[in-house]
Chains A and B, each alone.
Chain A
Amino acid sequence: MLDAVLSGLRLVATLDLRLWEIVGLSLAVSLSAVALATLLGLPLGAAIAVGRFPGRQAVIVVLNALMGLPPVVVGLFIYLLLSRAGPLGELGLLFTPQAMVIAQTVLVLPIIAALARQSVEDAWREYEEQLRSLGVQGWGGALTVLWDIRFSLLTAVLAGLGRASAEVGAVMIVGGNIDGVTRVMTTTIALETSKGDLPLALGLGIVLIAIVLALNAGAHLIKEAAQRRYG
């Protein structure tokens, strides 16, 4: 196993433009999806946390359950939507990086929204009375709290990023793993493994883990710095 790892790293270290294209595409797709999911998910989670409406408990349960959406099911669903035979076929988005971003956004949105909902709800318990005393109405309060706890929301965003960069089912189905167009790290690893080229697959796997680790470390440092600054 150790030689496989070492030869994998060696291969990766000497590898060419193609590898960095794949890494670049992976990051572009997953980071875009997480950015979109954050933009949509944070306000959504905050609204549910602070709002009082009939069926609220059911919405929370469903949102939490959606965190466990199987990637391959999301991929299948988006494929059926974007296929020429499907309702959005006109857009011609199937087998493009855009389709992959859409699929991953759908996958990651519930995670960010559900975790944000929990964080905002916990914080709301602390802030609600004071904010209402000052005269803050409904949504304004949600946004104020959201902004105030922004550094602890990083955890939710990282959870989403972890999910997006690790999954292979959704991007494989809606992207088609097309060489040079929609091939990302996870689908490449799957492909090389199925071809029996284990050292290369392992090498790529290590690169993937290293990148995710680096992103997490960066986020952690930001959180620590913010904690020291703002209390």
Chain B
Amino acid sequence: MSAILPLRLEDVSFAAGGRFIIERVSLALEAGSSTIILGANGAGKSVLMRLMHGLLAPTSGRVAWSGEGARRRQAMVFQRPVMLRRSACANVVYALKVAGVPVAQRERLATAALEEVGLRQVAQRPARVLSGGEQQRLALARAWALNPEILFLDEPTANLDPGATREIETIIKAFDAAGTKIVMSTHSLGQARRLGDEVIFLHQGRVAERSPIERFFPQPASPEAAAFVNGELPWA
């Protein structure tokens, strides 16, 4: 059903500043399940996601998609949303333009995406004057309009209050329900349990454990993950 998944990482390493941030990671991401990437600060979650999304090139190893056109079939939402100095709607339209969507369809698709995330009312407001939560929803609308097969999210609610966080989680579930593969990093164990089907636990650049959600909580198999879940490993 998916054109580009599974995504395979084959012995991928990433080194910077003289040390390995990601070391010899091999895994495959299948369509269907939501994958949560968990780990202490500095474990390499952000770098791993950027390697998958193609923002970083691996120092060694291969990142292999299963089909053509992976570039256009994925999207990413960052911890801090980056918006152009235009209206909310114009930001979504811009993304559609870059994706090569014909002019005639852009406005319509953008409006639908804004509707989906509940931002229809503020479509014409300058994106940068929206609140943090609204801007993050706008980032999701932008991704929604692109109809991606896989959506990467790098700690999307780290800077948001609980109310805004709930709104974001609702939208992520909508993506999942629509068939988009979710790959998300988070600090919050509660969020992982609410949104994830499986967990990849990173420790010092390596995959220490990979388990389905029910297996990982309440007690993970690996000692590193166990220490993390029990609150003893905030930093790698």
Residues of A participating in the B interface, judged by any CB pair closer than 8 Å = 126-127, 129-130, 132-136, 140, 144, 148-149, 229-231
Task: Give the residues from 45 to 100 in chain B that come closer than 8 angstroms, CB to CB, to chain A.
Answer: 50, 53, 55, 71-72, 75-76, 78, 81-82, 84-86, 94-95, 98-99
Q: Is the CB of A231 within 8 A of B128?
A: yes
Secondary structure class of chain A's binding surface, majority of residues: helix
Which residue of the partner chain B has the closest CB to A231? B128
Q: Is the CB of B98 within 8 A of A134?
A: yes
Once A129-B55, A231-B126, A231-B127 are accepted as A-B contacts, the answer to whether A135 and B82 lie under 8 Å apart by CB is: no
Contacts of A140 in B (CB 8 A): 98
User: Which of these, A127, A130, A230, contacts B128 with CB under 8 Å?
Assistant: A230
What's the minimum C-beta distance from B182 to chain A, rounded to whole angstroms? 16
What's the minimum C-beta distance from A138 to chain B, rounded to whole angstroms? 13
Q: Is the CB of B53 within 8 A of A144?
A: no
Contacts of B98 in A (CB 8 A): 134-136, 140
Which residue of the partner chain A has the closest CB to B99? A135
Q: Is the CB of B85 within 8 A of A130?
A: no
Contacts of B71 in A (CB 8 A): 135
In the bound complex, CA of A231 to CA of B90 (Å): 14
Once A129-B78, A230-B128 are accepted as A-B contacts, the answer to whether A134 and B99 lie under 8 Å apart by CB is: yes
User: Which of these, B50, B86, B95, contacts A134 with CB under 8 Å?
Assistant: B95
What's the minimum C-beta distance from B178 to chain A, rounded to whole angstroms? 20
What's the minimum C-beta distance from B205 to chain A, rounded to whole angstroms? 21
Contacts of A231 in B (CB 8 A): 85, 126-129
Q: List 18 A-B contacts (CB under 8 A).
A: A129-B50, A129-B55, A129-B82, A130-B81, A130-B82, A132-B55, A133-B76, A133-B78, A134-B75, A134-B95, A134-B98, A135-B71, A144-B84, A230-B85, A230-B86, A230-B128, A231-B85, A231-B128
Q: Is the CB of B82 within 8 A of A127?
A: yes
Contacts of A144 in B (CB 8 A): 84, 94
Once A126-B82, A144-B84, A148-B85 are accepted as A-B contacts, the answer to whether A133 and B128 lie under 8 Å apart by CB is: no
List 5 additional contacts besides A134-B75, A135-B99; criterion CB under 8 Å: A130-B78, A134-B99, A136-B98, A148-B85, A231-B128
Contacts of B76 in A (CB 8 A): 133
Q: Is the CB of A148 within 8 A of B84?
A: yes
Contacts of A133 in B (CB 8 A): 53, 55, 75-76, 78
Contacts of A149 in B (CB 8 A): 85
What's the minimum C-beta distance from A225 to chain B, rounded to whole angstroms? 13
Contacts of A148 in B (CB 8 A): 84-85
Task: Give the residues from 116 to 146 in chain B that come closer than 8 angstroms, CB to CB, to chain A.
Answer: 126-129, 142
User: Which of these, B55, B82, B99, B126, contacts A229 with CB under 8 Å?
Assistant: B126
Contacts of A126 in B (CB 8 A): 82
What's the minimum C-beta distance from A128 to chain B, rounded to whole angstroms? 9
What's the minimum C-beta distance from B231 to chain A, rounded to whole angstroms? 31
Task: Give the residues from 206 to 221 in chain B that come closer than 8 angstroms, CB to CB, to chain A.
Answer: none
In the bound complex, CA of A69 to CA of B2 (Å): 59
Which residue of the partner chain B has the closest CB to A136? B98
Which residue of the partner chain A has the closest CB to B127? A231
Contacts of A132 in B (CB 8 A): 55
In the bound complex, CA of A127 to CA of B82 (Å): 7
What's the minimum C-beta distance from B47 to chain A, rounded to whole angstroms? 12
Report the 8 A-B pairs with minimum CB-CB distance, sorted nearest first: A231-B128, A130-B82, A230-B85, A231-B129, A133-B76, A231-B126, A230-B126, A134-B98
